[in-house]
Amino acid sequence: MGVYRSPKPLTIGLVAVGLLCSGFTASPVAARNSNGAHRHAAALRQAQRKAARQACHRRGECRGDTGGTSPTPARTPRVTRHERVSPKAPVTPDSTPAPRHTPAEQAAAVIAGVLATPCSNTEVSPSAENIALVRAAVNCLINRVRAEHGLNPLTMNARLESAAESHCAELISANYFAHVAPDGETPVDRIRKTGYIPGPSVGYVIGENLAWGTYSLATPQSIVSAWIASPGHLANILESQYKETGIGIVPAVPQAMGGGNPGASYAQEFGVIIH
């Protein structure tokens, strides 16, 4: 187990933008009524009223007549230019805005998905034909442990995977089992060579777990269980800063460790780049 941290401090900056919307209040439109004084001769007014009375009697529309009822015309509401009302568009299921989830709610949903997904091939013994399945099983088991502690899952990174695979191959070819190679190469050196760390001015946090096992102790479940039982290895698994991982597996054990017995060697790299 090894953890390597860059000397660059972790800095975070927050920027907020506010939108100020100014509203307006529509002033009521005053309606003006003008009354004009008109002078009419009394006889003319009387004659007009009499003629109107006679006409309504003939039609049966006068108040009190039984020949008909006076219909009440429907009054059309008067809408002024400034009071024009536009009909509201009906709300359909498609136009209903989707609820927004907070980052905490989104993280909780991701963690719940990890816990609800069973891990496959956890008892498979590694071979040259099933390395991809074994790698996926280890990643699933590691992310499940993180989810059980409320941590987001790690995503697979090709550069970290390349570093893990090269170190596993060197453990077999050079017949040793350690984080630092016989030539002094460290996990940071191996990962830097892959291009995962983009430059000398970029911060990072990097960790590495190693394991080997023979026979039934070489399965993904046995290896992850051994890591969990070790406080140092578990600390790497549960480091909240890590975002990415890479896993290397070789279906062989260093001769000095396994004595020629069948088994497998594992390396898992952890990382996060801090810009």
| Residue spans of beta strands (DSSP E) within the chain | 2-5, 155-156, 203-214, 244-250, 263-274
Backbone angles phi, psi at 108, to 5 degrees: -65, -35
Instruction: Give the separation between CA 116 and CA 110, rounded to whole angstroms.
Output: 10
Q: What are phi and psi of 3, to 5 degrees?
A: -125, 130
For residues 36 and 139, the model is more confident at 139
What average pLDDT does range 209-222 have in this prediction?
A: 97
Dist CA 56 CA 62 (whole Å): 5
Output the pLDDT for position 79.
37
**Interval 140-146 mean pLDDT:** 98
**Which pLDDT value is given to residue 100?**
83
| Mean pLDDT taken over the chain | 77
Tell me, what's the pLDDT at 101?
84
Any idea which of 63-72, 193-202, 211-220, 250-259 has the lowest mean pLDDT?
Answer: 63-72
More confident call, 86 vs 201: 201
State the burial class of residue 52 (Cβ atoms within 10 Å of its Cβ: 0-12, 13-18, 19+). exposed
Give residue 70's pLDDT band: very low, low, confident or very high (50, 70, 90): very low
Which residue's entry shows tokens 């108040």?
Answer: 63
DSSP lists the bridge partners of residue 264 as 213
The residue that leads in pLDDT, 181 or 5, is: 181
Pick from 9-23, 35-49, 109-123: least confident: 9-23
- Which pLDDT belongs to residue 99? 72
**pLDDT at site 183:** 96
- pLDDT top residue among 83 and 99: 99
Q: Give residue 221's pLDDT.
A: 98
What is the number of helices (H) and of strands (E) in the chain?
8, 5
The answer to whether residue 235 scores a pLDDT higher than 90 is: yes
pLDDT of residue 252: 97
Q: What share of the chain in percent tops pLDDT 90?
A: 60
Q: Quote the pTM value.
A: 0.66
% of the chain exceeding 70 in pLDDT:
64
Average pLDDT over residues 63-72: 41
Residue 250's pLDDT is 98
For residue 73, pLDDT over 70 is answered with no
Kindly indicate the confidence band of residue 109, based on its pLDDT and cuts at 50, 70 and 90. Answer: very high
